[in-house]
Chains A and B, each alone.
Chain A
Amino acid sequence: MHIDRLERYWIIAVTAMLGVFMAALFVSVVVFRVQLPSPVGRVDPRALAETEFATPGLSDLGAGRYDMHIVAKMWNFDLGQGKGEPAEVRLPRGAQVTFFVTSEDVTHGFFIEGHDANLMLLPGQIASTTVRFNRPGTYHIICHEYCGPAHANMVAAIIVE
């Protein structure tokens, strides 16, 4: 099979370019430790009351570290806020939070503005990611997967002080 000389150069150049892209990816994973969600475990969405998700909310592990359990449901995030209270949580600057999130009903999304947190929330699966909050401000947690009529209002807030 004949391959034109110029075309061969092109193929080599393109392959090299894609190689560079891949190397950049490798660096972002190995050096900068960008993490992808990985399996944490399953839960029974019909019986969340019998699991670690019975009482959602923040738990202080000391030394600026926190665990945060959240239950997504049609159409709000349960961060452990009381009835009628806004879905928000206050954190000190520099807090490092490991989120454990699941859904009680349908597929939802979990996206924190301005931070590397982007999870699909599937009923039956625990999703987890760790985020460090270095800049003061208000960051929305946005549900980014369609979950019914009030989907676009499914939002919570993280306030970094």
Chain B
Amino acid sequence: MQAAQSLPQRRPAPLSFPSLAMLASERTLIGAHIITALAALSIGILMGPFQTFRRSPAFMEALPDWKIPVFTYYYQALTIHGVINALFFTTFFIVGFSYFVTQRSLERPMYSRGLAWGAFGMMFVGLSLVLYAIASNQANVLYTFYPSLVAHPTFYIGLVLLVVGTWVVTANIFLTYAQWRADHPGERVPLAVFATLANYVMWCVATIGVAVEVLFMLLPLSLGWITHTDPQMARALFWFFGHPLVYFWLIPAYISWYTMLPRQTGSQLFSDPLARVAFLMLMIFSIPVGAHHLFSDPGVSAAMKGVHTILTFVVAVPSFLTAFNIGAVLERAGRSRGARGPLGWLVRQDWGNPVVAAQLAGMILFIAGGFSGLIHASLTLNIALHNTAWVPGHFHMTLAGAITLTYIAIAYWILPLIRGRALFSRPIALAQIYTWLVGMLIFGHGMGAAGILGIPRRADLAGSGYISPEAATWLNSAAIAGVILLISSVLLFINIIGTLFFSRAPVNEDGPITTGSSDGSPLWFERWGLWLGLMLFLALVAWGPLFAETLDLVNGFNVPGFRPESPVPLQ
């Protein structure tokens, strides 16, 4: 266990956890979340390589009639890919991970197991409804479900259940924290829990936007209770939520980098207080930046776009803080492994340990993905890149790269704890990680280059007439990456199935949790009410005028709904 600097006298914890196993209560709850997440991922992820094939001129020339298996309609597959990977895999995984981190760091059970299972039930029913809607071809609307496209009500109800489930999770985590706080006055909450709390505060503020959109606009439209909608308003509400959503995925990965990687590499966290500053900044500045997804929208003024751009640069700061802090962790790790010279530590890392290697590979992708994000966040460059293939190129290095690889690192130690057996195969895990790294680099580069040449995203390019030979080269390279990533995905699932059903060796890697916390950071960092107030204030300042210019009750809300298959309006 990493020695925290100067712990105050602690009371005996209400619950003590075995280090190489899980309590029965943990195993069921956390197991249910993590395994649902990975099962969802197994469906969603497969669509990715298939999409690259449909988008590759060389592939479609060789096999002109090839269609994506099962989800034969390209945009149905793309809806599965976006909704299941980005919304359900992530959320189930994050919630399961949050329970593990909260219980073990605070050394106590969750406030209420009933609430935890209730939330799981809601989210699971949500997943089933959404899968039904998409699989039955009634929700081919992609994961952003922009109106005036309309999906079957079960699609929206499923999403509502997912979100309401996470609100219950938030309540449960905060109630657990309140109990801990009552037992530990004046103590700083462990960093991992601090970040978890920040993440759920942010999430609750963010989801207000999408909840209003779905409950008051889309679901009633889909049920036929109202007949018209306002696409610009819907997009504004969606992206109020959409940018914090990205940090909701990122923060658990940062929790692993900040609080687990030091243990896993035999190093030590460089600065606990600045880690907290980074999490607070992510939480607070995630809200007033969302309009950078609306740079090309006709109904949002250039002034509002400018304001959100400036704040977008501010929200890059915590990621640079993270780069320094984690860099220092890795430097110490590298030097203790015998690295020399100013940069030798970059190479002398534990590349042979899957749990470490997956995170390092994720960081490499994050550097490329992060800078590509700064580029298209610049509103003038965005004109060249908005909605081109560049954008999925970017977020497959961040979301599907850094974040997913870090979740995979977590899966490689948490699945063994859930199952009570060691990881099935370390060599397969390493092969999986490095094929993923190489695949995503080729994919990100190919998509980025195709995007610069004007190839759009979200398009079944087979048969479209606007692909230049130069762009074709890059789309073909993305399809080669698709093959590599398909192999990587299969390796991942071999290891998951193997660990769950065929592994015999005992668990050899513990859950890298740090209890207690150093004294360096001020206690007022935990004034969550204050932060919430600040966030709502910033939301008002940055979003109030935007909603005001978007809202028009007289001339707005005049757009009927459409099914994607038909230009005839629904009413």
Interface residue ranges, A against B (CB under 8 Å): 1-4, 7, 10-11, 14-15, 18, 21-22, 24-25, 28-29, 32, 34-40, 42, 44-46, 73-75, 105-107, 109, 111, 113-114, 116-128, 140, 142-149, 151-153, 155
Chain B, Cβ-Cβ closest to A4: B271
Tally of contact residues, B, Cβ under 8 A: 75
Which of B235, B296, B301, B460 has the most chain A CB atoms inside 10 A of its CB? B296
Number of inter-chain CB pairs below 8 Å: 201
B532 contacts the other chain (Cβ, under 8 Å)? no
User: Of B324, B384, B556, B560, which one neighbours A46 at CB under 8 angstroms?
Assistant: B560
Docked-complex contact B299 and A153, CB < 8 angstroms:
no
Which of A22, A74, A125, A144 sits near B298, CB closer than 8 Å?
A: A125
When the two chains form their complex, are residues B149 and A107 in contact, meaning their CB atoms are under 8 A apart?
A: yes
Interface stretch of the complex, out of B313-321, B361-369, B407-415, B428-436 = B313-321
- Contact A123 to B148, CB < 8 A, known contacts A2-B520, A10-B320, A15-B317: yes
Question: If A114-B454, A140-B466, A155-B466 touch, does A44 touch B380 (CB 8 Å cutoff)?
Answer: no
- Residues from chain B with Cβ under 8 Å of A119 in the complex: 296, 298
Asked if B461 is an interface residue, CB under 8 A from chain A, the answer is yes
Known interface pairs A142-B466, A153-B464; A39-B301 also in contact (CB < 8 Å): yes
**Chain B residues with CB below 8 A from A153, complex form:** 463-465
Identify which of residues 545-571 in chain B touch chain A, using a CB-to-CB cut-off of 8 Å: 549, 552, 555-556, 558-560, 562, 564-567, 569
Q: How far is the CA of A126 from the CA of B299 in the complex (A)?
A: 8
B463 touches A14 (CB 8 A): no
Asked if B565 contacts A148 (CB within 8 A), the reply is yes
Q: Which of A42, A75, A126, A145 contacts B458 (CB 8 A)?
A: A145
Residue among A75, A109, A124 facing the most chain B CB atoms (10 A cut-off): A124
The digit string for B137-175, where 1 denotes a CB below 8 A from any CB of A, is 000001000111100000000000000000000000000
Query: How many angstroms from the CA of A128 to the CA of B298 in the assembled complex?
Result: 7
State how many angstroms separate the Cβ of B320 from the closest Cβ of chain A: 4
B459 contacts the other chain (CB 8 A): yes
Q: A45-B558, A45-B559 are in contact. Are A39 and B298 (CB under 8 A)?
A: yes
A117 contacts across to B, CB distance below 8 A: 383
Residue ID in chain A nearest B455 by CB atoms: A142
Contacts of B314 in A (CB 8 A): 18
Whether A113 pairs with B466 at a CB distance below 8 angstroms is yes
Given A105-B569, A111-B387, A123-B559: A151 in contact with B459 (beta carbons within 8 A) = yes
A149 touches B298 (CB 8 A): no
Query: Once the chains bind, are A125 and B466 in contact (CB under 8 Å)?
Result: no
Given A145-B387, A145-B458, are A124 and B559 neighbors across the interface (CB < 8 Å)?
yes
Chain A residue contacts of B388, Cβ below 8 A:
111, 144
Q: A7-B274, A37-B296, A145-B458 provided; 19 other pairs, C-beta below 8 A?
A: A2-B520, A4-B271, A11-B324, A21-B374, A25-B378, A32-B380, A45-B559, A74-B567, A105-B567, A106-B146, A106-B149, A107-B146, A116-B383, A121-B298, A123-B148, A126-B298, A152-B459, A152-B461, A153-B465
Question: In the complex, are the beta carbons of B316 and A39 less than 8 A apart?
Answer: no
When distances are taken between beta carbons in the complex, the residues of chain B under 8 Å from A34 are 380, 383
Instruction: Please name the 6 residue pairs, one residue from A and one from B, whose CB atoms are nearest each other, closest first.
Output: A127-B298, A144-B456, A74-B567, A152-B464, A144-B387, A34-B380
B75 at the interface (CB under 8 A from A): yes
Q: How far is the CA of A105 from the CA of B300 in the complex (A)?
A: 20
Q: Which residues does chain A contribute within 8 Å of B567, judged by CB atoms?
A: 73-75, 105, 148
Q: Decide if A125 touches B309 in the complex (CB within 8 Å).
A: no
Cα–Cα distance between A120 and B456 once the two chains are bound (Å): 13
B121 at the interface (CB under 8 A from A): no
* Bound Cα distance from A73 to B379, whole angstroms: 27
A1 and B522 within 8 A (CB): yes
Contact residue among A1, A21, A105, A113 (Cβ-Cβ distance under 8 Å from B520): A1
A124 & B454 in contact (Cβ 8 Å cutoff): no
